[in-house]
Structure 1
Amino acid sequence: MAESFLLGALRRGRSVEQFLGPCGSAGRPGVRYVEVRAAKTSFEVYLHTVEDAGSEGFFDLGEFPPFDPDDEAGEFGRLLGMAEDPLAALIVAEQCAGAGRGRWVNEGIVQDEYGDFVRAGRPSDASPGGWLWPEMPDVTGPRA
């Protein structure tokens, strides 16, 4: 999504998301995605880490259980940070979750990217589009 469309969507109160790829282990696979959403007076950045519970016919990441079942806040995502403007929120997502500026999609489209990941055999090193999965920076932010 072009940056101007991305910032416009956030200013209109729409969320944007980015699929970050696999996490966990072969015995306990998970996936991560990051979301930037508008709040009343700011923009919030959430990291979602869920069990890789999908199949070729089931891509609804919002329905997947949290990767850490003991983390009640994990069900809603981990709040990585907040910012007063959308561009600053994108920078938080880049610094705290390894998000890439050119890979954002509208809310709900991240599920299609997960579907591409499943159909490609769940590659561990790079996305079906060829870009390397980001490494998760070591951050300890507030929990949602």
Structure 2
Amino acid sequence: MFKRILVATDGSRLSKKAVAGAIAMAAQHDADLVALTVVPHYPKSYYEDTAFTREDVSRIEKQWADTAQRGLDAVAQRARAAGVRIKTATVNSNLVADAVIAAAKKHKSDLIVMASHGRKGLKRLLLGSETQHVLAHSTLPVLVLR
């Protein structure tokens, strides 16, 4: 049914559940898996007392990218152990949901798998939901796991 599944992961406990589900689904459908992590840009401060040098920002962003890559490497290892063909990708963007949708299109995925914290009410309003944004704006099917 599915030929290429994109799973978005941030390395959190909840997204690891989504990864496990995506790996199982890819194995079941003999589908390729694309594991994606979106790494945000470091926020730049406009206050003199907290300004960082370009080198500081570059160092921090590199640490985030290295951490993301280690997480993707772990996902790839799990997928290969399950006999799943996998490709990993990292995107640098502050617009996480838009980056997930764009990556799914770029990799010609036919399903997006994501986790959701299941926040409701004021918490959802204040914290937002990347998963909700993907659900609302993607033309591809989205499987949300909790």
Task: Give the TM-score band, short-chain normalised.
Answer: under 0.3
Structure with greater helix percent? 2
Question: Higher strand fraction: Structure 1 or Structure 2?
Answer: 1
Higher RCO (CA 8 Å, separation ≥ 6 residues): 2
User: Which of 1 and 2 has greater Rg?
Assistant: 2
